[in-house]
C-alpha cells in the first residue's frame, strides 16, 4: 500500500514539468551548480590563506624609558 508504482512516478514527473516547465528546472539546476562551484572555490581560498607564512611576531621592550610628556596648560582654563 505504501509503495508507489512506476505509473505514479510518471504522473508526478509530468505534473512537475507542467507546473514548472523545462526551462525553470534547468535554470534551477544551473544555479545549484554555480553555488557548488563558488563554495568549492571559497574553501580553496581559505586553505591558501592558512598556508601563508605568518608575519614575524612583534614584541614590546618593557625596559624602554617612556617618552616625556608635556604638561597640559589648557586643563582647567576658561577661554574668553
Residue 71's alpha-carbon distances to 65, 68, 74, 75, 76, in angstroms, are: 18, 9, 9, 9, 13
Higher pLDDT, 4 or 35: 35
Domain ranges of the chain: 21-47
Task: Name the grid cell of 59.
Answer: 614584541
Backbone torsions φ then ψ of 31, nearest 5 degrees: -65, -40
pLDDT over threshold 60, residue 1: no
Least confident of 2-6, 38-42, 50-54: 50-54
pLDDT tens column, 43-79: 887 776 666 666 777 777 777 566 666 666 666 656 5
Amino acid at each position: 500500500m505504501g509503495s508507489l508504482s512506476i505509473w505514479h512516478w510518471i504522473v508526478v514527473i509530468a505534473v512537475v514539468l507542467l507546473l514548472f516547465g523545462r526551462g525553470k528546472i534547468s535554470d534551477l539546476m544551473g544555479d545549484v551548480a554555480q553555488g557548488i562551484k563558488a563554495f568549492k572555490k571559497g574553501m580553496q581560498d581559505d586553505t591558501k590563506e592558512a598556508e601563508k607564512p605568518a608575519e614575524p611576531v612583534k614584541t614590546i621592550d618593557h625596559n624602554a624609558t617612556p617618552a616625556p610628556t608635556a604638561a597640559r596648560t589648557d586643563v582647567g582654563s576658561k577661554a574668553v
